[in-house]
Amino acid sequence: MNYDIFIIIALVIVVLSILAILVRVIIGPSLPDRVVALDAIGIQLMAVIGLFSIILGTRYMIVTILLIGILAFLGTAVFAKFMDKGEVIEHDRNDRD
């Protein structure tokens, strides 16, 4: 049984969803819209890489999937904090240390 056709169908679906989310990134009226859309794109990328690992028959890409997971979380968290407080790392500017 050849699974390739399923994988390619899955890839197409994922890519279409990325494009759909990209629309949100571009026209998104507010910053939170875009941030959420970017986060979703990150997750879709994980899927893309997973599917590609199957196509290429390699297991070295798994690390990349994990990394994107971490980065997407970190990035979203940082953006959330930025939108909330206006700065990412809380730091007292008057404190000279």
**Residues engaged in binding other proteins (CB under 8 A):** 11, 15, 25-26, 31, 34, 38, 45, 48-49, 52, 56, 58, 60-61, 63-64, 67-68, 71, 74-75, 78, 82, 86-88, 96
Residues 6+ apart with CB under 8 A from 59: 53
Cα 26 to Cα 21: distance, rounded to the nearest angstrom: 9
Q: Which is nearer to other proteins, 5 or 63 (CB)?
A: 63
Sequence-distant contacts of 55-60: CB under 8 A, at least 24 apart: 55/4, 55/7
Nearest to 24 by CA among 42, 43, 38, 45: 38
Q: Which is nearer to other proteins, 2 or 93 (CB)?
A: 93
The least CB distance from residue 49 to other proteins, in Å, is 6
Q: Which is nearer to other proteins, 1 or 5 (CB)?
A: 5
